[in-house]
Structure 1
Amino acid sequence: MNAAARKIQRIYLTLTLGNTLAASFIWGINTLFLLDAGLSNLEAFAANAFFTAGMVLFEVPTGVVADGWGRRVSFLLGTATLAASTYLYYLLWQFAAPFWAWAVVSVLLGLGFTFFSGAVEAWLVDALRFSGYEGGLEAVLGRGLMVSGVAMLAGSVAGGVIAQATNLGVPFLLRVGVLLVMFLVAFWLMRDVGFTPERSGHPIQATRAVLSASIENGLKNPPVRYVMLAAPFSAGVGIYVFYALQPYLLELFGDPHAYSVAGLAAAIVAGAQVLGGWIAPRVRRLVRKRTTVVILSSIIGSLILVVLGFTTVFWVALVLLALWALVASAGTPVRQAYLNDMIASKQRATVLSFDSLMGSSGGVVVQPLLGRAADVYGYPASLAIGGVIELLAVPFLLLSRRQRHPADQANAASSADTESQPS
């Protein structure tokens, strides 16, 4: 890796560190926060579903902002929007607001995150290619996952401990503060490199043009389409499991007010991310095709969830949680690299946002469904049901593999920038 590529990587890792740290302050206690505000399990996961609904609604428009106005602009809008909506969440908790207010602000939180999804990854890939980097993307994306895991480890543990020492609202205020700092950091460091935004005096026409090209290179591109169609099952279940583990582990632990235990659960997931990010490029070198890693990750993760659903011992549940997170984390950079190597630069942010939209759409349906299952049958049964749902992603991944796109075996530069159609 040359000096220019190392600089790009440093900026990417800095942005990833700050953003993940800010977000993770509440990850260990978010479900407990909602329940403490007076919401039922169904309402709490319905609020999370409105968050993912916000991501579904705004993924493509904000992806068009990133492709049409620049990835830096999108990132800055994301930090400002997320800081404001997080503070509103804190106010809702303070005043015991009705459910409809939680739904509205949850949608705004989703809007904030959509400015990040697609934009940062697209910025990284284009800037690396421009700097002359020709290595596999798994290595850089894996480092990003490792840094994200470290930040999540620190943030989630700190959030749980601080909540127990003060109250459940303080971690939300910490998130607001760090996001404001990240706005200044990105304003100073981030520049669109290797990509020129196609700004237009007619924004509606520009939006239509970018969206049309993105669909052409996304849903109409078979290997990309099948990866996207798998996302609602895997991502939808993953979102639910992460948040359901908080009250589930407290239930097994036997103390509903041990908020640090909920933070510990998020910390274990974070540690698994660090290890998974380190493992990903090494596992990739052992197999010929990227889809092998992604498919095995989905199958093994599903089986672990089913087993977790029958576990009644706290420490066994922690071990299974760590294994589940490790398997998922090891597959994530490989999936990202596979998808990026099939997408052309001009539509990269929008297509990646559309992929995130597909995952979020699964969360809109899966979260309240499994939340209701938790109300009726208990958390263990809902986790086992989630494992069965995640298995539905595998047939779509197999269909993507059957397309034999060069990106499935690629380790170097993106074939999508020279060939927009699969061979």
Structure 2
Amino acid sequence: MNTAARRIQRIYLGLTLGNTLAASFIWGVNTLFLLDAGLSSLEAFAANAFFTAGMVLFEVPTGVVADSWGRRASFLLGTITLAVSTYLYYLMWQLHAPFWAWAVISVLLGLGFTFFSGAVEAWLVDALRFSGYEGGLEAVFGRGQIVAGVAMLVGSVAGGVIAQATNLGVPFLLRVGVLMVMFVVAFALMRDIGFTPERSVHPLRATKELLVASIDGGLKKPPVRYIMLAAPFTAGVGIYVFYALQPYLLELFGDPKAYAIAGLAAALVAASQVLGGWLAPRVRALFRKRTTVLILSVVVSVVILVSLGINRVFWLALVLLAVWGVVAAAAGPVRQAYLNDMIPSKQRATVLSFDSLMASSGGVVVQPVLGRSADLYGYPASLAFAGLIEAIAIPFLIASRRQHAPADVASDAGVATAVPDAAAGGPADAGASDQAPRPDGQP
């Protein structure tokens, strides 16, 4: 990796560190925060569903911001929007606001995160290619995941401990403060490199054109389409499980006020992310095809979630949770590299945002359904149901594998050059920048 590429990677890792730290202060206590505000389990996860609905609603319009105004502008707008909406969350908790208010602000939170989704990843990939980096993307994404895992470990543990020492609202204020710091850092360091924003087109026309481009570059290409169609089931379940583990572990532990234990759940996932990020390129090297890694990760996840559903032992739940996190984390960079190697640079942010839209759409439905099942049958049963829902993703991943896309067998030494006509319905730039010699959360 040359000097320019190393600088791009350092900026990417710094943005990832700060953003994840800010977000993770509340990850260990978010569900408990909503329940403490007077919401039922159904309402708490419905509020999260409104968050994901906001992401679905705004993914493409904010993709226009990233592709028309620039990735840097999108990141800056995201930090401001998230800081304001997080502070409003804190105010609603103090006021014990009605559910409709939580729904509205959750949508605003979703808007904030859509400014990040796709934009930072696209910024990284384009800047690396422009700087002459020719290595595999798994290694860079893996390092990013390690940094994110460390930040999440620190933030989630600190958030749980601070909440127990003070109250459930303080971690939200900490998030606001760190987000404002990240605005200053990004403003000073982040520049659009290897990409020129298209600012001449009217926003509505640009939205339409980029929506068409995201469909052409995504859903119309079979190997990409099937990966995107699997996302609602894997991501929707993943979001629910992450937040359901807080009350689930407290129930097994036997103390509903042990907020530090809730933070431990997020911390375990964070530590798993660090290990998974380190393992990603090594796991990838064990298999000829990237889709093999993705399919196996879902199969293992389903087995673990069903096991969590029948488990009643606290320490065993921690072990299963750690394994679940490592498996998901090791597969994450492989999926990112697989998609990026099939997406042309000019529409990269939009197509990646569309992929995030597909993932968020699953959360809109899955979270309230599983939240209701937790009200009726308890959190253990809801985790088992979650595993069954995630299993629906497996046939889609197998279908993507059967398209034999070059990106499926791309090595760490480079990327695929094109998706063939037979597999994708037409030629495509498979990830190289148009100009020759790529950080993203949850309430």
Q: Alpha-carbon deviation of 1:203?
A: 2.1
From the superposition, tell whether residues 18 and 417 of structure 1 become closer, same or farther in structure 2 (CA, over 3 Å).
farther
Give the letter for the 1:232 counterpart: P
Q: Give the gaps of 5 or more residues in structure 1.
A: none
Partner of 2:223: 223
> Does 2:89 match 1:81?
no
Partner of 2:293: 293
Task: After superposition, give the CA deviation of every residue in 1:157-183 in whole Å (9 maximum; x if it has no partner).
Answer: 000000000000000000000000000
Verify the 8 A CA contact 1:156 1:267 in the aligned structure 2.
Answer: yes
Task: After superposition, give the CA deviation of every residue in 1:47-69 in whole Å (9 maximum; x if it has no partner).
Answer: 00000100110011111210111
Q: Alpha-carbon deviation of 1:201?
A: 4.7
**Count of paired positions:** 422
Verify the 8 A CA contact 1:17 1:151 in the aligned structure 2.
Answer: yes
> Does 2:420 match 1:413?
no
Runs of 4+ that moved beyond 4 A: 416-419
| SS of corresponding position for 2:85 | helix
Partner of 2:440: none
Task: After superposition, give the CA deviation of every residue in 1:294-333 in whole Å (9 maximum; x if it has no partner).
Answer: 1100110111000110000000000000000110000000
Verify the 8 A CA contact 2:60 2:210 in the aligned structure 1.
Answer: no
Aligned-partner Cα distance in 1 for 2:418–2:168: 46
Partner of 1:30: 30
How does the TM-score come out when normalised to structure 1? 0.98
How does the TM-score come out when normalised to structure 2? 0.94
Task: After superposition, give the CA deviation of every residue in 1:79-102 in whole Å (9 maximum; x if it has no partner).
Answer: 000000000000000111000000
Verify the 8 A CA contact 1:345 1:417 in the aligned structure 2.
Answer: no
Q: Alpha-carbon deviation of 1:417?
A: 9.7
Indicate the larger mover: 268-277 or 413-422.
413-422
> Does 2:335 match 1:335?
yes
Aligned-partner Cα distance in 2 for 1:253–1:3: 50
From the superposition, tell whether residues 163 and 106 of structure 1 become closer, same or farther in structure 2 (CA, over 3 Å).
same
| SS of corresponding position for 2:27 | coil
Q: Alpha-carbon deviation of 1:229?
A: 0.1
Give the letter for the 1:346 counterpart: K
Q: How does 1:109-258 map to 2 (within 5 A)?
A: 109-258=109-258
Partner of 2:382: 382
Q: How does 1:265-414 map to 2 (within 5 A)?
A: 265-411=265-411, 412-414=414-416
Q: Alpha-carbon deviation of 1:212?
A: 1.5
Q: Alpha-carbon deviation of 1:209?
A: 2.0
Task: After superposition, give the CA deviation of every residue in 1:3-39 in whole Å (9 maximum; x if it has no partner).
Answer: 1110000000000000000000000000000000000
Q: How does 1:29-108 map to 2 (within 5 A)?
A: 29-108=29-108
| SS of corresponding position for 1:342 | coil
| SS of corresponding position for 1:346 | helix
Give the letter for the 1:172 counterpart: F
Verify the 8 A CA contact 1:229 1:358 in the aligned structure 2.
Answer: yes
| SS of corresponding position for 1:415 | coil
Q: Give the gaps of 5 or more residues in structure 2.
A: 421-426, 431-443
Aligned-partner Cα distance in 1 for 2:227–2:50: 24
Aligned-partner Cα distance in 1 for 2:291–2:201: 42
Aligned-partner Cα distance in 2 for 1:204–1:409: 38
CA root-mean-square deviation: 1.2
Q: Alpha-carbon deviation of 1:200?
A: 1.4
Aligned residues: percent identity?
79
